[in-house]
Amino acid sequence: MDIVCSTDCCYVMQTGIMLTSLFENNREADIRVHVLHNGIDSNSITLIERIASDYGQKITFCHVDETLCSAFPIGRDGQNTHVGTSYATYYRLFLSELLPKDISRVIYLDGDIIVMDSLNDLWATDMHDKAIAAVPDSYNNKIEHYNRLHYPQPLGYFNAGVLLINLDYWRTNNVVSAFCQYASANPDSLYCHDQDILNYVFRESKITLPLRYNMLNEYWF
């Protein structure tokens, strides 16, 4: 099971907690974690490596050159401030280029989540030649987000915090180019950064997952 997460110097603690919950609730799984980062310090790397080692799991680190993200807006007026001003949120857009070619699918997990159960069933989900599988976002029923991104509301809008990604599809369809083109043409529309880009580009190539795989805070109220 290949798991991917992104972090920076401000999110190492949260990422470590997320990984602990992942390993604790998937003790029988053979997990390989790929950590995308922009140059976190050696102490942080050692901390994360120790967590993986304590559970007998594998972990690798991939340093991302942030010039890759030059086409993507960050910190603009009107953008969601939940993700701060870090380009780390965009790293997942380059997974098809950053990860080895023999990896055909991954589960992406945000650093601020807690894994509460086995991910085996999610990992085994039939992708049906679709690009991505995800849970609907709390914005799913808000027409203003579809108007902003310029696609029909019936196609739906997902949350990018937990994703099952079909890397074979991404590579075959050169989605990185599509991501960059959409961001360059619509910088003022990207309120939710990479999440908006993923939703537009994959608006007709996605699978809707059960809510249990990404229980957002808003769903509890």
Q: Is residue 4 over pLDDT 80?
A: yes
Cα three-residue angle 108-31-137, rounded to 5 degrees: 20
- Whose structure tokens read 């739906």? 156
Rounded CA gap, 120 and 141, in Å? 30
| Comparison of pLDDT for 218 and 80, the residue scoring more | 218
Residue 156 has pLDDT above 80, yes or no: yes
Cβ(133)–Cβ(164) under 8 Å?
A: yes
Q: Is 80's pLDDT higher than 90?
A: no
pLDDT at 221: 60
Question: Read out DSSP for 55-92?
Answer: TT-EEEEEE--GGGGTTS--S-TTS-STTTT-GGGGGG
DSSP H helices in the chain: 12-24, 42-54, 95-98, 120-123, 143-149, 167-172, 175-185, 193-201
Question: Cα(66)–Cα(68) distance, rounded to whole angstroms?
Answer: 5
Is residue 4 a contact partner of residue 36, using CB atoms and an 8 Å limit?
Answer: yes
| pLDDT value at 85 more than 80 | no
Residue 129 has pLDDT above 90, yes or no: yes
Q: What is the pLDDT of residue 79?
A: 54
Give me the torsion for CA of 115, 43, 41, 74, rounded to 10°: 30
75 pLDDT more than 60? no
Q: Tell me what the mean pLDDT of segment 152-179 comes to.
A: 96
Whether the CB-CB separation of 182 and 200 falls below 8 Å is answered with: yes
All structural domains of the chain, each given as residue ranges with its CATH number in brackets, are 2-220 (3.90.550.10)
- State the pLDDT confidence band at 88, using cuts at 50, 70 and 90: confident
Closest listed residue to residue 103, CA positions, set 71, 58, 135: 58
Please state the length of the chain.
Answer: 221
Report the SS3 class of residue 30. Answer: coil
Query: What is the greatest pairwise CA distance in the chain?
Result: 48
What pLDDT, on the 0 to 100 scale, is given for residue 219? 67
pLDDT at 117: 97
The rounded distance, in Å, linking the Cα atoms of 25 and 57 is 13
User: Residue 52 and residue 33: Cα distance in Å, rounded?
Assistant: 9
Nearest residue to 139 (alpha-carbon basis) of 199, 73, 182: 199
Over range 45-71, report the average pLDDT. 93
